[in-house]
Each structure stands twice: as C-alpha cells, then as structure tokens.
Structure 1
Amino acid sequence: MSRKNGILPEQAIRALIDDGAVSASAPMGGEDGLPTQIQPASLDLRLGTVAYRMRASFLPGAGRSVMDAAKDVVMHKIDLTAGAVLETGCVYLVPLQESLNLPKSLAASANPKSSTGRLDVFTRVIADGADAFDRVDAGYNGPLYVEIAPRTFSILVRPGDRLVQMRFRRGVLKELSTQTVSIDLNGAGVIGYRAKRHAGLVDLLKVGGHVALDYWEPLVARGGTLVLDPEEFYILASKEAVSIPEDQAAEMAPIAPEIGEFRAHYAGFFDPGFGVDAAGGAGSRAVLEVRGRDVPFILRDGQPVAKLVYETMTETPAALYGQNGSHYQAQGLRLSKHFKD
C-alpha cells in the first residue's frame, strides 16, 4: 500500500539517486555501494577526504554557506586520505560525499548511526543556510557536512566511513503513537557498561577488533539503582521490548527534558522491522546511550527515560531491518560492533 506522506523506504531512496536528487563525489557502487549504504528507511552518509578542526560549533544561518561561516572558527585542515585521528574534546567539520537536490515536496533529517552513538561520538549534520542541526528543508540544493565531536574515545577515520544516516520525509511529521521506554537495572549479571576514560583509540574499520574490557567497565545490579556520575558515559538497556511494524518507523525522543541530570540516547532512529520476529517474536530491547550531567543522579529500575515516536512509511520497504544481517537485531544489552562480545 502506497501513502502520499511519510518516511521514504529504500526503493524510493534508490529512485532519488537515479533521478539525481541525491548525488555523491565518489561512486555509489562496488564495496561502498547501494546494498550496504541504503537501509530500509535511511541512507548512510560517507565522510569526505578532509576534516577541519574548529574552535567552536556553529550554524551558518539563512543566506550563508557552511564553508563561508566556517572561516571564523576553523583552526586547521586535516587530510583524511590515509586515515586520521579525531581526538576527544575537539570539534571537527567534515564535508560529506553526498549532496542533495531535493524536490520541493521532500525534506530530510539526520541522526547518528547506532554504532556512532554507542561510541559516544557526538555528530550533527549541517546544510548551507541551516538554522538547525540535522534538518534539511524541502527543496534544498547543496552540499552536506557533519560536525563530529568524540566525547570519550578518540577515533581513527577514513574517507567513506559512515557515522550518520539520513531519512527523507514527504509531508509534515504525523505521530501515529508513542511508547515509553524505561531503564532495566534489575537483571542478572551485567546490567550496563561505563566507559573508561583515557582508553585507547577506536579504529572504525575494525569491527570486532577491540577488547571490550580495555574500554568498558561492566556494571552489576545493586538494588535496582545506578548512580550516574557527572560527565561519565554509560551503555544501558531498556526494560521494554521494541518491535517496529513493517509499515512504520520510529524515533527516540526525551520523555522529560526538564529532568536535566542526564541525556539518554544519541542515535534515535529505528527502521521498519527492528525487533520483528526477534527473540521468538518478543522484540529487541533498545540500547540507551546515557551521559550524566552537572551532579550525581540516581537512576532507578523502571524509570522512564525516553519515548518512541512512531511515524508512517509511504510504503513498506523492499527489505526490512535485519533481513540482510545486522549486528543489532535481536539485541539485548550490546556494545557497538567495534568490540568483541
């Protein structure tokens, strides 16, 4: 069934590429091609060949290009061709290989990929003339950039690495339903992980190539509570199972922004089919990236921390999430794919 408005599925994204609404500076084929770059309801965006070390984040604002606005904040230029380290505590701007020439009926939005959020790498996509991060207005014609700020681990990146993904929407956001997500702190054994500061470098190309205990401290249940230390980063899991219908997508959003003592979930987009037929039909748990703020804060088992906002697809994707393999389908508590289980 086809609908006029909603999130575009993978077959419609392929059509955008064929029609020139999405183009790239490097071929979208071969090893870096469509089978892996296109997800059921989103498109992975690839890093270009250079990065700019910035002294501050910024938005260009109406009538200004990103590069014009960057002149005031760029400190130096880094060649990524042979690989380069992006260090914690620094902010970088990287031109993306993809650019857009959207029809006036189509807008786009972006978010970090799951693995990016689980590495505590803060990313935001920026377009020319933008007054907001991660949002591209309908009819936009121009390049795309990503702001990258590693928070806990320094990362080794190369051209073609994929830290962010973009989805395309026709019409305005229309919520179908919401689902509250709460923290599970009462399981047996390990209930979460706290990132180790001053750990080694994470090479984004080395999937399963890093020893988890060199980077993470396992956490065990202590009476159903966990004290979040200020500015520490945690990987936790939801108590609820999540299962996204094949004709819908979902985005994670804060349930109570006024809480203010922690931030939950950087990478907040769930493709159609996530959790479907996983664990005997029970769905997959959502993994939550949590960062403490300002003062120590006690999380309790079952405490609501976020909500899933469901939105319709214009049609069912040709392939659902996990059908072609995924590190995170049927997941429980799980670190990013870069670490050995």
Structure 2
Amino acid sequence: MPSLFAKSDHSQDAEPSLFGASDFGNQFGLLPREKIELMIRRKMILGLEKIEERQFQPASLDLRLGARAYRVRASFLPGMGRKVSDQLQDLQTDVISLEGKGAILERGCVYVIPLLEHLNLLESFSAVANPKSSTGRLDIFTRLITDNSEVFDRVARAYEGPLYAEVSPRSFSVRVRKGSKLNQIRFRRLHSQQLERTDFGVDERELRTRHEKIPLVDGDLELRRNGLVLRVGLSAETPGNVVGYRAQKYTDILDIDEVGAYNLSDYWEPVRARLDRRLILDPDVFYILASRERLHIPSDLAAEMVPIDPAMGEFRVHYAGFFDPGFGAAPDNRPSARAVLEVRSYEVPFILEDGQVIGRLVFEKMAEPPQVLYGESDTSNYQGQGLKLSKHFRA
C-alpha cells in the first residue's frame, strides 16, 4: 500500500523559528483568518502543496482532498493508540486515484481520503471540523478523522499528524479530484482554565444582552440550553410557493468543483407550501428546507448549528453547521439570512409542521474579529440567503 502522507517540503514558508503561544497575543477563543495565517507561518498547519488564498474563510480553513481515495467496507474510528493508516490496511477494498480529472465517488459507498493538510498544534490549541455549506447541501456526508481519535470532527489539543476525510455521498454520485474542498476546520486557543472543557458556548444572559443592542434574530429571541432555537419555515404568502426541495433518486453525476453548472430540475423536486403548513418527510429521503427566522452573526462571534434532542423527532438536520462572523449582516443591522437546513428522516415517515423546533444555534466568542467578515469576499456564496440550494445549481 502506498504511503498515505508524504512529508511536506514546506516550500511556501520560511524556515521554522522558535515560538510559543505568546505569539498569538492575549486573546482566547476561535481564531480568525489572520491568526490561521500565523499558524501556517509558524508550521502549526502544513500542506503537501501551497495553501491557497481561496481556502481561507473568516473563521476557518477549507481542507483539500489528497491524491488518493480509499474505498472501505464501513465507517470507522481508529481509537486511542492507533493510526488511520493501519486501519486502512485492513479495511480498504479499492484505491482510487484523484489526480487529473479525478474520480467518481459512488452514492452509498464510504471512502477515506488523506487530506493535503496536516497539523502540528501547540498544547493550548485544538480544532473542530464540519462539512462546508455546499457539501452539506449536496448530501455528501463528510467527517474529519485523526489518528488516535475516538470521535469524528474533533482534533485534540497538541495533535500532530495527518488529517483524513471520511466521505459518503448519500443522494448523488459526485466527481472529486485532488484539491477539491469538502470540509473545513476551525481552530480554538484555550487558556489554562479551559483545557479540559468541552462546552464553549456563550451563555443565555450574554446572548439576551447582545440581542437587545443588535438583534441576533428577527422577532423574539428564544433560547434553550444556551442556544438560539430555530424553527422550520413551511408557510408561504401564497399556497403552492416553493418552501423546500426534495432530492431526486436517479440523477446524473455531479462535479463538486463546477459552480453554476447544473439545472436544479435535473436533481431536485420542489416542495410546495400546503394549506395545512405541513410536510411529511419520506424515510431516507433528503430535503433542503429553511429556518423561519432570519439571523445575524456579530463580528466577534461565530456560531454552529447543533442537533436538537433526538427525543424530539426521528430525523437528522443540518449536516453543515458553521456560521461565520458577519453572516446575515445588513446595513441597517437587521438579520437578513435564513439558515438552510439539510434534513433526512430515519426509518419512519415524520410530519414537520410550520414553526416546529428543528435545531439550536450555539454561539462562541472569537479571539478577535476577522478583518474581513462573511459577505465581504467573493467566497461568500450564501450571504442574505433565503431558501437556497448549493452554489452548483443555476438560479
């Protein structure tokens, strides 16, 4: 089996220098783009190839697929004291080259793909990953795996080693290639009292104070377990208007790197508003819906959509959960963007009603506000959005 992760030549950077966490100042929290760039200069983030300008988001870094994909029989985690590469030796059924024109990842199959980035974190740094918004809206189930890990999408403090993406297209077979970007990573700097914490959300009292000054959401602020409650929107001014989309079962292949290249009618069926303001979710069918509320993420906060209590319904919502600082900002400070929801029912049909609770938005403090907020660059594809499919489809 070929080597899964070759050494980087570090050609994009100068020689490493001695440094410590003090290089990052006295701020703690999620790191903005400027501090992620510093991490790259300090060799805390390394790339097999030069990290590209378009990988940077206001509070995260897009990760790139490497040169090979390993088709595996089933999803897995390596566990403590074990490397992903060792597991792949036992579980792989095929090795697929992603060079050149790339390759097709078949719907319903599971692949593990070494990424072009790996990490060399300091003791006070950890990270969390999530699918990109476009990835979630295409129903490509994507999770980050690291060596010695017992959980997905979490990078332990002081982690040193390669990164892998577990990728499983659920609705559409997709073409990817070396350098394609399916997930993204956020970095968190912790102070000494936070080293063993797992919850970093802003508490309800502070959220209420902020909402009184500049609204976080249009309408009343509804909080639950230190998160902003979001409700699904299934009504329209005129019955019959589109309130969602249902993925078609039999479609052509979709190229993950082609923007604005596809007719939505070739991949999606519209879900139209009903007089009873309900939607019956068919089992194992993928839906794109939107929140009833419009949101605004302040410049010094980031947010993540987290699942509702499983006891509230037999469905999954929101595969892609990062909201950057500045998302939904408008000149008059009114929240302007809805949260787009990726929804799948499980074994049984499930009725959703207009206004039903469908998720929580948890806010976390930035170490400092990014210099360029979401919506201020050409990579902000979903600013001010209502119900919106991924960037791959023509309006």
**Would the aligned equivalents of 1:191 and 1:236 in 2 still touch at CA under 8 Å?**
yes
**Mapped pair 1:317 → 2:370:** yes
Compared CA separation, residues 260 and 289, structure 1 to 2 (3 A): same
- 2:202 partner SS: strand
Q: Which residue of structure 2 lines up, in the alignment, with residue 165 of structure 1?
A: 184
| 1:24 to 2:73 alignment | no
Q: 1:144 to 1:278 in 2, by over 3 A?
A: farther
* Structure 1 equivalent of residue 201 of structure 2: 175
Instruction: Tell me the CA shift for residue 318 of structure 1.
Output: 1.2
1:3 Cα deviation (Å)?
5.8
Structure 1 residue 212 corresponds to structure 2 residue 230: no
1:336 aligned partner: 390
Q: C-alpha distance in 2, partners of 1:225/1:62?
A: 46
Matched residue type, 1:217: E
User: Out of 66, 89, 94, which is 2:84 matched to?
Assistant: 66
How much has 1:5 moved relative to structure 2?
2.2
**1:93–1:278 distance in 2 versus 1, CA, 3 Å:** farther
Pairing 1:1-341 to 2, within 5 Å after superposition: 4-28=27-51, 33-34=52-53, 36-82=54-100, 83-171=102-190, 172=197, 173-177=199-203, 178-187=227-236, 188=238, 189-222=241-274, 223-277=276-330, 281-325=334-378, 326-341=380-395
- Per the TM alignment, residue 160 of structure 1 is displaced from its structure 2 partner at its CA by 0.5
Identity of aligned residues (%): 52
- Asked whether the equivalents of residues 260 and 293 of structure 1 are also in contact (C-alpha less than 8 Å), the reply is no
* Contact 1:243–1:283, Cα closer than 8 Å, also in 2: yes
Partner amino acid for 2:294?
A: A
Contact 1:256–1:305 at 8 Å: present in 2 too?
Answer: no
Q: Which amino acid in structure 2 is aligned with residue 281 of structure 1? A: R
Q: Which moved more, 1:316-325 or 1:232-241?
A: 316-325
Describe the SS at the equivalent of 1:235.
strand
Higher strand share: 1
- CA-to-aligned-CA distance 1:98-139 (integer Å, 9 cap, x gap): 000000000011000000000000001000111110011010
Partners of 1:205 and 1:250 lie apart in 2 by 26
Find the residue that maps to 1:117 and give its secondary structure. Answer: helix
Q: Retained in 1: the 8 A contact 2:263–2:393? A: yes
Structure with greater Cα Rg: 2
Say if 2:27 and 2:368, in contact at 8 Å, map to a contact too: no
Contact kept, 8 Å, 1:279 with 1:330, in 2: the verdict is: no
Gaps of 5+ in 1: none
Q: Which amino acid aligns with 1:241?
A: R
255-264 vs 199-208, greater mean Cα deviation:
255-264
Instruction: Give the superposed CA RMSD.
Output: 1.3
Distance 1:261 1:282 in 2: 30
Aligned equivalents of 1:192, 1:284: Cα separation in 2: 16
State the alpha-carbon separation in 2 of the partners of residues 293 and 3 from structure 1. Answer: 46
Shift of 1:174: 2.2
Please tell me the residue identity of whatever aligns with 1:245: P
Aligned partners of 2:66 and 2:113 also within 8 Å: yes
Q: What is the number of equivalent residue pairs in this alignment? A: 335
TM-score, length-normalised on structure 2? 0.83
Measured in 1, the distance between the counterparts of 2:242 and 2:350 equals 20
After superposition, give the CA deviation of every residue in 1:168-226 in whole Å (9 maximum; x if it has no partner): 01224421142101100002410000000011111112101011000000011112100
Distance between the aligned counterparts of 2:369 and 2:150, measured in 1? 32
2 CA distance for matches of 1:197 and 1:248? 38
Task: Name the CA distance, whole Å, in 1 between partners of 2:280 and 2:271.
Answer: 11
User: How big is each residue's C-alpha offset from its partner over 1:280-308, in whole Å with a ceiling of 9 and x where there is no partner?
Assistant: 73320000000011111100000001000
Cα distance between partner residues in 1 of 2:311 and 2:96: 39
In 2, distance between residues paired with 1:296 and 1:57? 26
For the residues of structure 2 that align with 1:290 and 1:164, how far apart are their CA atoms? 18
